[in-house]
Every structure is written in structure tokens, then in C-alpha cells.
Structure 1
Amino acid sequence: MAILKHIASKSSNYGAALEYLIFKHDELRKTPILDQKGNRIMRDEYYLDGLNCEPYSFDAACQQLNREYQKNKNKNEIKSHHYIISFDPRDSTENCLTGKRAQKLGLEYAKANFPGHQALVCTHMDGHNGSG
């Protein structure tokens, strides 16, 4: 069974979302994992799509729309929403869930629930506590 979690963010650092999605993170400390040279380490397996935006320019698109529509000027305003769909590790065997299939489900969810909005949809296979 999947679990859906919602986090509202007041951070205006839209690039941080992309960094979290594609780079490995220490979930307890909420910091990127670095290699011996101090560089961030890419996640081993991830799928990334943009809805109504290019994923690697998501931050610029958000900033441009904020300027255009005079939105998110106050630091107390919610700037973005982060939805996490977590699957049970047994779903991979019991329900034939793969990273690609999870990504497809995430895209379908985003298209149905956020029409007209920019969204990053990302599936990464290195779940919390090694759950997959």
C-alpha cells in the first residue's frame, strides 16, 4: 500500500528541490552526501520528468512566473508543495512495481491533480532506510 505525504515549503530556493531529487542525501541530517573531494553524489537510479516545465530549469521557470504574476514576495508565503508517494518494498515483487512504473504513476497523479502548474516528478529507488 502506498503512503502519500504532503509538505508545504516557504523556501524560495526552488533549485534545492532538484538537488534533493537527483543527489544522494543523509535523510537524518537533511544534508547531501559528499564524495571524498566534497562533491555531491548522484543517486544510483532515478527518473525525472517536468510537468509544464523542463526539469533542469524548474527553478528559473518558478522565479519567472513569480515575477510575472507578482507572487511569493512575502517570506511567509508557501512557495511550493512537496508530495511524496512511498511504496511498500513488497510492492516490487507483489505488484511488479519498478522505478519506471512508479514514475508513470507519479506523472499520472501530477497531471490529474496539478493541471496548469509546473511540477517536478521524480522517482528514486534509494528509499529511506534502504527500503528501495
Structure 2
Amino acid sequence: MRTVRDESGDLLLLLAESSDACRVRDPETGEESYRDGDDLELVSGESPLTAAARAVPEPARAVLTATPDERALGLLVDLARRGPHSVRHLLSATDLCESDLLGLLTEFRAAGLVEETDVMGERGYATTDRADEGLALLTGE
């Protein structure tokens, strides 16, 4: 499997090729079709597996790639459902040490999933629309 681009600039996964045509799949829809090989350009530096991940909506991919384990995912879910929370509350209400908590919050901020906010005069965190949308896609809510 390789990543190719068609004449309109869309990324496709090249599944098979022959002298007559190439079988390709749209990574976002899963739709397969046959195309003339002359109409396809090999995309270097784009992993076919990365392209295949586009079948998952971007906000859900952001949540999946930013959460290394179930505790991290649980933190994000709790912030979305019951937040925003102060850092003090998160330290007392979770089993995360300060270093682990701040490490996860930093990763979530870098991924655009949480933002710093004021919670009753203390530094706290709330989920972003991107996180809320991604979690909704994953939970079916």
C-alpha cells in the first residue's frame, strides 16, 4: 500500500496496480475505485497508515493520539463532563501525582484539547470545543 494524489489533489491509498489501471481507496470514506495510473502521483513522506487514519474524524484522532493510556483518557472525559476544574481539585480528586497531571495537561494543551482557565480564583483547565467534539464522536454522545 502506498499513498498517492489524484489530479484534483485528493490523497488516496494505492491498493493494487496493473498495466491497465490502479485500484485505490479514499482513506476518509473507504470507497474503492479504479483509476488510470497516469492520473496518480506518488506522495513521498506520507505514510499510507497515516493516510488510512483519516477514516477517523480529526477531533477524535486528536483525542486518541494525545491520550497515552486510560487514566489520561479518563482525565479528559472528567474535564469534559464535570469541568472545568482547578489544578488543586485535580490533584486531590485523581490518583495522578503533580508531575504526571501537569505532564498530561501540557500534552492536552499542545494538542488543542484543553485550555487554561480561572476556576474560583485558581488556575484550572477546561476542555476545548475540539476535545468535546472528539469525545462525543468516541462516546456516541
What is the TM-score of this pair, normalised by structure 2?
A: 0.21
- Higher relative CO (Cα under 8 Å, sequence separation at least 6) belongs to 1
Greater C-alpha radius of gyration: 2
- Higher helix fraction (1 or 2): 2
